[in-house]
Amino acid sequence: MGKYIIKVAIVFSLFSCSRNNNFNNSESDIYNKVDSLMSLMTLKEKIGQTIMYSGDWVTTGPTVSSNNIKLLKDGNLGAMLNVYSAKKTKELQKIAVEETRLGIPILFGYDIIHGFKTIFPINLGHAASWDMKDIQKSARIAADEASSAGLHWTFAPMLDIGRDPRWGRISEGAGEDVFLTNEIAKANVKGFQGDDLSKNNTILACAKHFVGYGAAQGGRDYHTVNMGQDELRNVYLPPFKAAVDAGVQTLMTAFNELNGVPATGNKFIFRDILRDEWGFKGFVVTDYTAINELVQHGFAENEKRATEIAIKAGVDMDMMSGANRFYLEALVNEGKVDADLVNDSCRRILFIKFKLGLFDDPYRYCDENREKEVTYKSEYLESARKSAAISSVLLKNDDNSLPLTKNQTIALIGPLVKDKENIIGNWAAAGDRNGKAISIYDGIKTYLGDAKILYAKGCNIKNDDKSGFQEAISLSRKADKIVLVMGEDYHMSGEAASRTNIKIPGIQTELIKTLKEEVPDKKIILILMNGRPLDLSEEDSLVDSILEIWFPGTIGGFGIADVLFGVYNPSGKLPITFPRNIGQVPIYYNVKNTGRPIPLENPNEDYKSNYIDSPNTPLYPFGHGLSYTTFEYSDISLSSNIIGESDILSISVNITNSGNYDGHEIVQLYIHDKVGSITRPVKELKGFSKIFIKKGENKTVNFQLTCKDFKFFNGKDFIFEPGEFEVAIAGSSDFSFMHSFELKL
């Protein structure tokens, strides 16, 4: 450390005489420091700051062999991913700081997508909680654990709007809705970055994947994306704008091409929109090897040309391609790339390293004592338990088959009952599969004890081995209720995990049918562990209750048991549509009306936009989720039926808890802009409020709207237009509008 302090002091003393010496962290002060440092750096060293290699501890993409330690020693590495722990990062940081010419610290980044060690529900699941405080808290906890393990940067939040359940990465985002995803973007950025990046428990967030990745053709990962300005500006870009407005410091390029131009070489999205329109000041990192992939895309003749395209498009840091390492210096020396582009990227990266406080103390994130103290804190595990509970969605509950009671014996059947490996889902960072995780069995046992649980695996997740069926049948005959824990394994969603069939895999459904036939007098409760919307049409006709638990995380077993036994009354609402069948996909709630919508009054009228073999409606719509109680909505009132540009429209509703359980309700506000200069969706979520009402009591919920809420991109600019709007407040997107108002300008 001593050598380091001398080195930095020399560097800054050479250049700080012209200004005050107190190292306050105002932006201009930091830029002065950055410029001082850059004036000492060679071109090669500046390029080094734009290079990121994997620590090869964890492979999250095609592993490219790289002698990154030599790069580190030569001062030609700006960041590493996939390496963590206070000890290991300190070892590597010491090389960067004490063995290189200028001692510039490196960044350590990692995919902390839904927790670092303490794993929370997958993001699609956590989105179902509609609980921004809880989502922000989970990011804060992840940042605390990760920063204690030497990490400065997470490649999250993933903000790709998803409308296609075939796409495996739908599990990582916040679902199909812009408004909900915008809110979750803000909650994550605040949770990860806190209010002061110089604190040693805050980390950089990274909004990804910019942009349009979720619209891959056929739901096939990495596939081509084509869309008009309407969808790009009104659906896929807004969550990234929300993250930028919330202060996100980095963005990551998407793998896909967008309208013929691969994102990683797309000047329009990175320079015109992100920098010029939005004023983003942070830095852009590519996705894993994405620069080189411009060659595969057919957008660059070779990797050297790809390197030139990427930096000119606005990319700052190269993750794993080796492109900047091998070609950027030559490109500058040949005059093909202006050195100022390298200077801009280097400056953005160094600015953030200063903001993190790494030049004040490069080892501030490498405290082994803090790592021990912070990791798996009991309050963090308790928080994850609550997140699991509030993220579950009660899709169906005929005859109030749930909640379970302690005096019942249950047949607990299915390949995911005792599972500890899949329960933390994909992208589970440093989560401990099999060790720390609490299975659904573990959770239920705390309520029932072993004696009242008749367990049988019944079948596997994927193969067609029926040898377990008979045991499942005989146990079910002895039980009061049948509880099934079924779904996907964690490899069946996430990156490079698209499916053409979105049914429950293997012969799990066949086991349900068999139990229904062999034990017809028993209620069947299906608990689903999965990373995407599934086609549950068949199961919906076979079972009495369905509880969607996603991959609920490290403490999932306890959290879900709390729901099953009514300690937590389920409140989750779907952030994404569950189709009746794959043929309906893409299917989402905020569609356009078309010129031939199916008339409600005559659904069988000919020549309408319908299928001849399926309804248009989904099995379970966006915003759907039941409770053990019932909530009645009444007395919806508007403060006015006409508003002007500067007016505020207040809408209120009375909600009564008319059932037998206290509970939370997620009250949703929707509008419909009936006529626009480009067509508008039939419904748009514009607000929500999660409230708690005791049984028998009621509450009034108020929302406010202004014309800013009606803005949309009309091909030229973001505008709102006069005319008639419909408005509704409901507990799901499955409603008919009953109220309207006029915007007069």
Which residues carry out catalysis?
A: 287
Rounded to the nearest 10 degrees, the angle between the axes of helix 178-193 and helix 132-148 is: 40
Whether the Cβ atoms of residue 373 and residue 114 lie closer than 8 Å to each other: no
Which residue has tokens 């990319």?
A: 315
Which residue has tokens 């722990």?
A: 85
* Residue number, 208 or 364, with CB nearest to ligand GLC: 208
**Min dist. Cβ of residue 128 to ligand GLC (A):** 21
Q: Decide: residue 487, CB within 10 A, 0-12 exposed, 13-18 middle, 19+ buried.
A: buried
Residue closest to ligand GLC, measured at CB = 60
Tokens of 642: 């006409």
Which ranges of 201-279 does DSSP label H, i.e. alpha helix? 229-231, 238-245, 267
Largest CA distance in the chain: 86
Rounded to the nearest 10 degrees, the angle between the axes of helix 2-16 and helix 27-38 is: 100
Measured distance CA(516)–CA(469) in Å, rounded: 12
Helix (H), strand (E) counts: the chain: 23, 26
**Min dist. Cβ of residue 154 to ligand GLC (A):** 9
Measured distance CA(46)–CA(721) in Å, rounded: 49
Whether the Cβ atoms of residue 654 and residue 667 lie closer than 8 Å to each other: no
**Min dist. Cβ of residue 407 to ligand GLC (A):** 47
**Min dist. Cβ of residue 594 to ligand GLC (A):** 35
* Residue number, 221 or 367, with CB nearest to ligand GLC: 221
Measured distance CA(459)–CA(539) in Å, rounded: 16
* Residue number, 54 or 307, with CB nearest to ligand GLC: 54
* Residue number, 60 or 409, with CB nearest to ligand GLC: 60
**Min dist. Cβ of residue 449 to ligand GLC (A):** 42
* Residue number, 155 or 710, with CB nearest to ligand GLC: 155
**208 lies in the binding site for ligand GLC (CB under 6 A):** yes
Binding mask 719-738 for ligand GLC (x = CB under 6 A): --------------------
CA 551 distance to own-chain centroid:
13
User: Residues binding ligand GLC: what is the number (CB under 6 A)?
Assistant: 9
Q: For the chain, percent helix, then strand, then coil, each to nearest 5?
A: 35, 20, 45
Out of 257, 367, 495, 539, name the contact with ligand GLC by CB under 6 A.
Answer: 495
Whether the Cβ atoms of residue 187 and residue 126 lie closer than 8 Å to each other: no
Binding mask 67-96 for ligand GLC (x = CB under 6 A): --------------x---------------
Angle at 687 between CA 684 and CA 693, to 5 degrees: 130
**Min dist. Cβ of residue 173 to ligand GLC (A):** 11
User: Which of 198, 117, 188 has its CA nearest to residue 158?
Assistant: 188
* Residue number, 42 or 59, with CB nearest to ligand GLC: 59
* Residue number, 213 or 351, with CB nearest to ligand GLC: 213
* Residue number, 31 or 57, with CB nearest to ligand GLC: 57
* Residue number, 113 or 437, with CB nearest to ligand GLC: 113
State which of positions 272-291 bind ligand GLC (CB under 6 A): 287-288
* Residue number, 113 or 728, with CB nearest to ligand GLC: 113
Measured distance CA(599)–CA(318) in Å, rounded: 53
**Min dist. Cβ of residue 96 to ligand GLC (A):** 20
Binding mask 1-40 for ligand GLC (x = CB under 6 A): ----------------------------------------
* Residue number, 61 or 659, with CB nearest to ligand GLC: 61
User: Which of 732, 482, 472, 456 has its CA nearest to residue 620?
Assistant: 732
**Coil, strand, or helix at residue 15?**
helix
**Min dist. Cβ of residue 117 to ligand GLC (A):** 17
**586 lies in the binding site for ligand GLC (CB under 6 A):** no
Out of 11, 97, 111, 448, name the contact with ligand GLC by CB under 6 A.
Answer: 111
**Min dist. Cβ of residue 426 to ligand GLC (A):** 11
Could you tell me the CA-to-CA distances from 251 to 200, 248, 274, 435, 687 in Å, in that order? 21, 8, 10, 33, 26
Whether the Cβ atoms of residue 16 and residue 31 lie closer than 8 Å to each other: no
- Region of 727 on the Ramachandran plot (φ > 0 left; ψ -120 to 50 alpha; else beta): beta
DSSP assignment of 561-618 equals HHHHTTSS------SS-B-SSGGG-S--SS----SSPPPTT-TT-SSSS--SSS-SS-
* Residue number, 257 or 287, with CB nearest to ligand GLC: 287
Binding mask 322-351 for ligand GLC (x = CB under 6 A): ------------------------------
**Min dist. Cβ of residue 545 to ligand GLC (A):** 35
Measured distance CA(187)–CA(156) in Å, rounded: 12
**Coil, strand, or helix at residue 262?**
strand
**Min dist. Cβ of residue 256 to ligand GLC (A):** 11
Element (H, E) at 125: helix 123-127
Strand order in the sheet with 453-456: 393-397, 545-548, 523-529, 481-487, 410-413, 453-456
**Min dist. Cβ of residue 11 to ligand GLC (A):** 32
Out of 108, 116, 155, 550, name the contact with ligand GLC by CB under 6 A.
Answer: 155
Which residue has tokens 């004036």?
A: 39
* Residue number, 60 or 343, with CB nearest to ligand GLC: 60
DSSP assignment of 680-732 equals --S-EEEEEEEEEE-TT-EEEEEEEE-GGGG-EE-SSSEE---EEEEEEEESS
**60 lies in the binding site for ligand GLC (CB under 6 A):** yes
CB atoms within 10 A of CB 268: 14
**Min dist. Cβ of residue 62 to ligand GLC (A):** 9
> Mind spelling out the 3-state secondary structure of 496-513?
CCCCCCCCCCCCHHHHHH
Q: Which residues bind ligand GLC (CB under 6 A)?
A: 60-61, 81, 111, 155, 208, 287-288, 495
